[in-house]
Amino acid sequence: MTLEELIAELQALIDQYSDGTEPTEEDAARMAELTDEINQRRAAGEQAAQTRAAAVANARAAIDAGRAQRIDSVPLARSANVAGVSGAAYDVTDYDAAERRAWVKNMAERANVQLIGGTALTDAERAAVRHALEQRAEFTITTSNTADVVPVSVQQEIISLIDNSAVLFSDVTRYNMAGQFELVRHKSIKKGDAAATAEGAAPTDIEENEFDHITLTGDEIKKTVEMSRKMATQSLTGFEKYLINEISARLSVACNAKVHANLDSAELGMATANKIQTAKVNVITISDIRKMLSLLKTFNNPASKGVFVYANSDTIWNQIAAIEDSTGRAYFVESENTDDPTIQGRIYGKYVKADDSIADGVIKAGYPDLFCGNMFDGIDITPYIQPRTQKRCFDGYALYDGGLVVPQAFSQLTIKQA
């Protein structure tokens, strides 16, 4: 039994006789036994804590006094007790950086890219790779996830770059669940919205919500980066930067396009009734914008970011920015100082974002929080050499899917054509 379970059992026995009655001999013996066991475990814990505190204090004193020997190639499993080193020792290896270097060298070697300095791994890099593989093996056992050869820091950097260029993809809600992902869609409130009642009275009508459940298995997103054999001579830092920048640039377009495709899907995206056209041919008016915004609903699902308006630059500056009132004053207000370069301005207080994934003459508006996507796997990068051309190729891969949890959370306005 754990210490918490022992304490819980003792407390239960004490509570049993809280009315002042004398405990039975059996219960009294059990309470004495539990008390002794609890005291022994607490004493052992305090002793272990004191021993550890003393060891830490001695190690810190050795480091401060300059007596500890500096080690930079100690395997992680043995870094606390270094064989062959006298006195105290501490490990100063940056294993995250070592893992990144090892990964870049591995990519270069597999794609036959000549790096300045070569591709041979140091002892620290080999130790970092072994440690990363052990950690991922344990993670795989507990979460049924697959092993990933890309360092976590590199994945995060690629995702960060994708978010800076993939407008809608960076706004929507994103999860990282390795297994099955189920989208629960709140389609409508069929009856029973809140209503006033007499004091103390029960509601007169019970709310009925309409939901449907969609299981998402993920769609593969792949983009290839190519480099000629002629340019395949780079430094370690230059090659890593090239891979990260090029893969993120290619995947950002694909990831953003995937969100837009699912947003337009009849099964996963916005409700059909939320897709409207302008009242006039080749002309957009403020009443069209108001109608598009009036269709948006959340059904009380949280959407902290609020409503954003999305369109490409041509539609923003030639259509939306041209909408004026009867006095000739534009409804569109340009943005001057924002941290987000995709924000071009505001209309009716809603931020207008430039998104090149949207076709000319199409405007989308909605709550990006209510589009829930899941990154099942990736970002992964696989190198290979293209036959005949000798091009060095790197396939970027992600397994992603998502959809709107409220179909009315987005609407689309299309400029009617003649």
β-strand partners of 373:
174, 402
Q: How confident is residue 70, by pLDDT bands cut at 50, 70 and 90?
A: low
pLDDT at 21 (0 to 100): 84
The one-letter code for the residue type at 18 is S
Q: Is the model more confident about 412 or about 77?
A: 412
pLDDT band of 78, cuts 50, 70, 90 = very low
Give the pLDDT score at 213. Answer: 81
* Complete edge-to-edge strand list for the sheet that includes strand 371-385: 173-175, 371-385, 392-404, 219-227
Question: CA-to-CA distance for 182 and 214, rounded, in angstroms?
Answer: 6
Q: What is the pLDDT of residue 77?
A: 45
- List the structure tokens of 280: 């006039």
pLDDT digits (tens, 9 = 90+) for 196-216: 666 767 666 666 667 778 888
**CA 305 to each of CA 95, 172, 294, 394, 411: distance values in angstroms, whole numbers, following the listed order:** 37, 10, 17, 36, 16
Res. 239 pLDDT band, cuts 50 70 90: very high
pLDDT at 398 over 70: yes
- Among 53-57, 83-87, 346-350, the range scoring the smallest mean pLDDT is 83-87
Highest mean pLDDT among 80-89, 335-344, 375-384: 375-384
Average pLDDT, the chain: 85
User: For residue 249, is pLDDT > 60?
Assistant: yes
Segment 7-11 shows an average pLDDT of 86
Identify the pLDDT of residue 88: 57
Q: What is the pLDDT of residue 80?
A: 47
Residue 82 has pLDDT above 60, yes or no: no
Tell me the CA distances in angstroms from 38 to 25, 48, 51, one per residue in order.
20, 15, 20
